[in-house]
Amino acid sequence: MTIFKSDNGKLTQIKERPIKLEKDLQSITENNLGEIFGIDFIDSEFSLQQFRIDTLAFDDELKSFVIIEYKRDRSFSVIDQGYAYLALMLNNKADFILKYNEKKHQNLKKEDVDWTQSKVLFLANSFTEYQQNAINFRDLPIELWEVRKYDQQIFSYNQLKPSATNESINVISKNKLIKNVSNEVRTYSIDDHFKNDWKKSREIFDNLRQKIIEIDPRIKEIATKQYIGYKINNKVIVGLKIQKGKIIVVLNRVRPDDLEDYKGVVKYVNNSMKYWGKHVSNYDIRSQEDVDYATYLIKQVYNKFYK
């Protein structure tokens, strides 16, 4: 990617500079985990058994741990190392909980963590074609991020997305470690939120989904265990919880009084501040006629925080 700076209409290329040490990349990333990934820093160089995790983080939105590794050597296997770290975590949950409580001064319990949404992020200046092809599975809890440094202390973090594929790694892999991890950890897709006979809610979703994406080109769609979310800069604007007869629109960071709800249909989620650290309100969509009003509410949240 070529980056330019405009000076009175004249574009000047901002030159890319090498990131000389893994430690440099680790330091800048750990100091900005919330801004880059929307997650909290827990520990650096966390050692357990024969492993040393570069950065241990926690995703408060998903209630799950995130392991981050930084690489300059391009000869490593993302699959082998990624699943080895996940297996380490699943086999030593108490140690991860202990480290979290030690660093955050809280009383997190194993049952408070959603271990199914754990993941590993590999960060490097670049990845080989072989490594990029290795993540072409629909259910891989591993992400590759290319990090580039430029003049004027400019950094870019770009996730390398897998190619569109329906292939599961469990189908082709006979590796026992991968199968054991996959029994507990998984990734989610849009289709996971619908059963075959949920045609009504699927049609409503397809309509609403398009209207949300059209609000701002920065909006990214994600599928988690609990909801399908739409976010800007790692903050979820709205989540959609799918049921057979309705879609629950989860409006983040607002109470009913924060919105112009002339129909009086928005409901506050009790204890949302206690559990998620933010206000959350809901609106139920039961028909196509409700989609426009849902979009009207979602745009208010967008205008309030993201426009």
For residue 128, give the amino acid letter: T
Q: Mark whether 39 and 159 lie in a shared domain.
A: yes
Question: End of a domain among 182, 208, 237?
Answer: 182
Higher pLDDT, residue 295 or 75: 295
> How much of the chain exceeds pLDDT 90, in percent?
72
Give the position of tokens 């980056």: 3
Give the model's pLDDT for residue 73: 76
Q: Tell me if 199 sits within 8 A of 187, measured CB to CB.
A: no
pLDDT of 165 higher than 90: no
Q: Mark whether 177 and 195 lie in a shared domain.
A: no
Q: Mark whether 41 and 161 lie in a shared domain.
A: yes
CATH number at residue 293: 3.90.1150
Q: Mark whether 145 and 218 lie in a shared domain.
A: no
Question: End of a domain among 147, 182, 217?
Answer: 182
Give the model's pLDDT for residue 164: 67
Q: What is the residue-averaged pLDDT of the chain?
A: 92
Q: Mark whether 115 and 206 lie in a shared domain.
A: no
**C-alpha to C-alpha distance for 108 and 24, rounded to whole angstroms:** 31
Categorize the per-residue pLDDT at 230 as very low, low, confident or very high, splitting at 50, 70 and 90. Answer: very high
Give the position of tokens 């990029």: 132
Q: Mark whether 260 and 203 lie in a shared domain.
A: yes
Q: Mark whether 129 and 208 lie in a shared domain.
A: no
Q: Mark whether 173 and 33 lie in a shared domain.
A: yes
Q: Mark whether 17 and 159 lie in a shared domain.
A: yes
**C-alpha to C-alpha distance for 268 and 263, rounded to whole angstroms:** 15
Q: Which of 62, 118, 55 is nearest to 92 (CA)?
A: 118
**C-alpha to C-alpha distance for 113 and 42, rounded to whole angstroms:** 14
Number of domains the chain contains: 2
pLDDT of 3 higher than 70: yes
Neighbour-count burial of 186, counting CB atoms closer than 10 A to its CB (0-12 exposed, 13-18 middle, 19+ buried): middle
pLDDT of 245 higher than 70: yes
Query: Angle of helix 78-91 relative to helix 93-104, nearest 10 degrees?
Result: 80
Mean pLDDT of 253-271: 95
pLDDT of 69 higher than 80: yes
pLDDT of 271 higher than 80: yes
Q: Mark whether 178 and 245 lie in a shared domain.
A: no
Give the model's pLDDT for residue 166: 67
Neighbour-count burial of 258, counting CB atoms closer than 10 A to its CB (0-12 exposed, 13-18 middle, 19+ buried): middle
Q: Mark whether 170 and 26 lie in a shared domain.
A: yes
For residue 277, give the amino acid letter: G
The pairing of strands 119-124 and 142-150 is parallel
Question: End of a domain among 149, 182, 215?
Answer: 182
Neighbour-count burial of 120, counting CB atoms closer than 10 A to its CB (0-12 exposed, 13-18 middle, 19+ buried): buried
Domain containing residue 99: 3-182
pLDDT of 135 higher than 80: yes
pLDDT of 277 higher than 80: yes
**C-alpha to C-alpha distance for 131 and 154, rounded to whole angstroms:** 26
Give the model's pLDDT for residue 260: 97
Give the model's pLDDT for residue 127: 92
pLDDT in tens, 10-54: 998 999 988 877 888 999 999 999 999 999 999 999 999 989 999
CATH number at residue 175: 3.40.1350.10
Contacts of 89 (CB under 8 A, 6+ apart): 65, 67, 96, 115, 118
Q: Mark whether 293 and 224 lie in a shared domain.
A: yes
